[in-house]
Amino acid sequence: MPLETTDPAKMRLNATVNGRVVSLEIEPRAILLDVLRDDLQLTGTKRSCDTQVCGACTILLDGLPVSACCTLAYEIDGREVETIEGLAGPDGLHPIQQAFVDRVAIQCGFCTPGFVLTTKALLTENPCPTRSEIEDYLGGNLCRCTGYWNILEAVEDAAARVGPANGRSEAP
């Protein structure tokens, strides 16, 4: 394994990103968002507030939603990251994505990847969330276009699509 780095000021990072094993040399101070967007070309993860308020850069780290703008890249070493690019399969959109499309829960689209991934984490934890549980869970994602109505509908729709019927009700 080429674990050594060519640059002594850098460190080696091994992780699984969207099911693919990646091995990178990074600066210890590198921010995960920059590594995803610049090194791995995964630009679906968006930069907005830089302060973990808006949720636009949400990714799933071992299945849990995390703001990539406030995560050091080395923290993903040995762990699994899922970004928006990892969601759709060969058969098309993930049901959550399809729900966002069908419910017009998208306007400018800049917040959309973060909302979709947060929704995925929510439905994994809680396949049949109530409206107030959805509001709680999505409280860390901002959208300035939609007023949230269609997003709420999309999450409820997605829950109906991927919930218990999909055999994913084992989570607490």
Partner 1 sequence: MSALAAAPPLLTAIGHDAPRIDAVAKVTGEAQFAGDLRLHGMAYGRLLRSPYAHARIVDIDTSRAEALPGVIAVMTGRDLPAVDPYYGHALKDRPILAIDRVRFVGEPVVAVAAESPPIADEVITLIDVTYEELSTVVTIDAALAPDAPHLHDVVNLRSGLFHGLGDIHLEPGNVCYHHAFTRGDVAQAFAAADIVVEGEYDFPAVYQYSLEPHTTIAQWMGDDLTVWSSCQHPFLVRAELADLYALPVAAVRVVVPYLGGGFGSKSYTKMEPITSALARKTGRPVRIANSIDESMVTTRRHGMKAWLRTAATSDGRLLAREVRAWFDTGAYADNGPRVVATGADAAPGPYRWEAVQVDAWGVYTNTSPAGSYRAFGASHLQWCGELQVDEIARRCGLDALQIRERNLLHRGESVRPGGKPLDADLVGDIRKVAAGLDWETPKPAGIVGRGMSVGLLAAGAHPVSTAIVRMEADGGVTLLVSSTEVGQGARTVFAQIVAEELALPLEKVRVLGGDTRVTPYDRSTGASRSTTIAGLGVLRAAADVRSQLLAIGSRVFDLPEEALTVRAAAVWHEGEPIPYPDLIKAHFGMVGGELVGHGEVRPERGSGSYAEGPVFWEVCIGGAEVAVDAETGRVTVNKTVSVADVGKALNPRLVEAQEMGGAMQGIGNALHEEMLFDRTGTLLNATLFEYHVPAIADMPDTFVSNIVENADGPGPYGAKGVGEGALAGVAAAIATALADAGVQIDTLPATPERVWRALAAREAGVVNEGDTKR
* 148 contact partners, CB below 8 Å, separation of at least 6: 138
- Rounded to a whole number of angstroms, the minimum distance from the CB of residue 69 to partner 1 is 10
141 contacts 58 by C-beta, under 8 angstroms: yes
Alpha-helical segments (H) within the chain? 32-34, 95-102, 112-125, 131-137, 149-162
* Contact footprint for partner 1 (CB under 8 A): 27, 29, 34, 37, 42-51, 53-54, 56, 83-85, 87-88, 93, 97, 100-102, 104, 106-113, 116, 135, 138-139, 141-152
For partner 1, the closer CB: 109 or 164: 109
> Shortest approach of partner 1 to residue 94 CB, angstroms?
9
* Nearer to partner 1 among residue 101 and residue 164 (C-beta): 101
| 15, 94, 138 from 91: Cα distances, Å | 26, 9, 27
The nearest distance, CB 43 to partner 1, in angstroms, is 4
